[in-house]
């Protein structure tokens, strides 16, 4: 039986595989929204449970804030996935993913940039936070 940390690492591997399949079929240079729709379909084909394009809840001192922040994917209620199709992933993109992980209280995030030659070697990066350290 896999530990939660091992399960998350396996989940990242599965999602990266799905992203590589989408990238192999379409190549770089398209809009993020196209990759999002295709990745959702690929995850469905692989029977990976996910939510996509949903508003993130923001609660500030008991007040619900409607900021219209949208998460690209939440996989298996554990892994936050943020998609990009940009020339360079900037620090603000990383900050966005880390903030989404914090707001959702999820231990791991995966940034996938489809505007690259190879997803695995240059188009993906995983991030962990304090919730990951609490997993056994």
Confidence at 92, pLDDT banded by 50, 70, 90: very high
Contact call for residues 5 and 132 (beta carbons, < 8 A): yes
Q: Does the structure show a pLDDT above 90 at 134?
A: no
- For residues 40-44, give the mean pLDDT: 99
Domain boundaries, the chain: 4-133
Instruction: Tell me what pLDDT residue 16 has.
Output: 98
Q: How far, CA to CA in Å, does 92 sit from each of 3, 23, 68, 88, 99? A: 32, 24, 17, 11, 10
- For residues 85-96, give the mean pLDDT: 97
Q: Does the structure show a pLDDT above 80 at 136?
A: no
Instruction: Tell me what pLDDT residue 94 has.
Output: 97
Instruction: Tell me what pLDDT residue 111 has.
Output: 98
Instruction: Tell me what pLDDT residue 102 has.
Output: 94
**What CA–CA distance (Å, rounded) separates 124 from 83?**
9
């Amino acid at each position: 039986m896999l530990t939660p940390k091992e399960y998350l690492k396996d989940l990242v591997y599965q999602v990266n595989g799905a992203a590589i399949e989408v990238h192999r079929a379409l190549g770089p240079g398209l809009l993020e929204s196209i990759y999002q729709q295709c990745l959702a379909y690929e995850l469905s084909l692989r029977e990976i449970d996910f939510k996509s394009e949903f508003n993130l809840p923001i609660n500030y001192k008991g007040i619900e804030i409607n900021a219209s922040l949208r998460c690209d994917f939440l996989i298996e209620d554990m892994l936050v996935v943020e998609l990009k199709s940009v020339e360079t992933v900037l620090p603000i993109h990383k900050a966005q993913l880390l903030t989404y992980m914090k707001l959702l209280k999820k231990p791991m995030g995966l940034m996938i940039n489809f505007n690259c030659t190879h997803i695995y070697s240059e188009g993906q990066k995983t991030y962990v936070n304090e919730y990951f350290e609490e997993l056994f």
